[in-house]
């Protein structure tokens, strides 16, 4: 039997630059958006509309604040990001820029970035959008494990983007990653038990779960080395 690797801190990979030039404004047909850190934070009318967690992942608000053409500009922004290959997550949130203003009335985009990253990590991975709530008991465990691994791959890219920006930002996430990982561990363990009771847990399911376990382990080793996996997860890794 091969034991899991000891905790190792890996070097953060280089992240590709954002697709627009260094400019204080992002010009769209409906109007201009204020642009911080080359597309990292996009604002209008003193509200944050979208935040780039990585070059490929953005969190954008569902409804534009204020009145006037901001709603049109917001939807054009989402289309612009999607056209450049970004994955856009919409959230029900109104985030005024004053929340992220320091004592010198300067906009702290790092604080804004951490805030939106923690919102993303607060999403419950045990209630995935690809599994409607009325049919989840019928989904094979292998399908859940593969979808879970895709989710953790997205989290990996986001955290890599943060680490490439500033390694110290990872420390400001607190326990967000650990809470998300714990929810997932209990969820997949419960699905395995239900599948075994129904006699539907086979070798393909086991292999998919183990593959997801290994990816999650490497992610936690890199960004949450103090996290303690459940005994059942460790048993599969062994």
β-bridge partners, 90:
60
Give the pLDDT confidence of 161-184 residue by residue, as tens digits: 888 878 888 888 888 899 999 999
Q: Is the pLDDT of residue 139 over 80?
A: no
Backbone angles phi, psi at 25, to 5 degrees: -130, 145
Q: Give pLDDT, residue 15.
A: 42
How far CA 186 is from CA of 63, 105, 145, 169, in Å, comes to 34, 44, 13, 28
Q: Is the pLDDT of residue 213 over 80?
A: yes
Q: How much is the pTM?
A: 0.72
Q: Is the pLDDT of residue 27 over 60?
A: yes
Q: Give pLDDT, residue 220.
A: 93
Give the pLDDT confidence of 182-196 residue by residue, as tens digits: 999 998 998 898 888
| Averaged pLDDT for residues 27-41 | 83
With beta carbons less than 8 A apart as the criterion, state whether 61 and 70 touch: no
């Amino acid at each position: 039997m091969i034991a899991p690797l000891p905790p190792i801190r890996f070097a953060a990979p280089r992240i590709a630059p954002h697709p627009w030039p260094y400019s204080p404004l992002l010009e769209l047909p409906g109007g201009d958006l204020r642009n911080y850190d080359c597309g990292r934070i996009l604002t209008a009318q003193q509200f944050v509309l979208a935040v780039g967690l990585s070059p490929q992942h953005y969190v954008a608000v569902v409804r534009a604040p204020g009145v006037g053409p901001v709603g049109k500009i917001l939807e054009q922004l989402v289309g612009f990001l999607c056209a450049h290959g970004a994955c856009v997550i919409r959230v029900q949130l109104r985030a005024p820029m004053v929340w992220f203003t320091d004592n010198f009335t300067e906009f702290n985009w790092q604080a804004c970035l951490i805030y939106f990253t923690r919102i993303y990590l607060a999403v419950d991975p045990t209630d995935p959008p690809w599994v409607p709530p009325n049919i989840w008991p019928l989904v094979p465990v292998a399908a859940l494990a593969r979808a879970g691994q895709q989710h953790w791959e997205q989290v990996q890219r986001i955290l890599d983007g943060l680490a490439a920006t500033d390694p110290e930002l990872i420390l400001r996430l607190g326990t967000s990653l650990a809470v998300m990982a714990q929810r997932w561990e209990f969820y997949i363990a419960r699905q395995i038990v239900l599948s075994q009771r129904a006699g539907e847990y086979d070798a393909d399911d086991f292999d998919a779960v183990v593959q997801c376990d290994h990816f999650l382990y490497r992610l936690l080793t890199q960004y949450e080395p103090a996290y303690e996996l459940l005994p059942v997860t460790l048993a599969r890794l062994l």
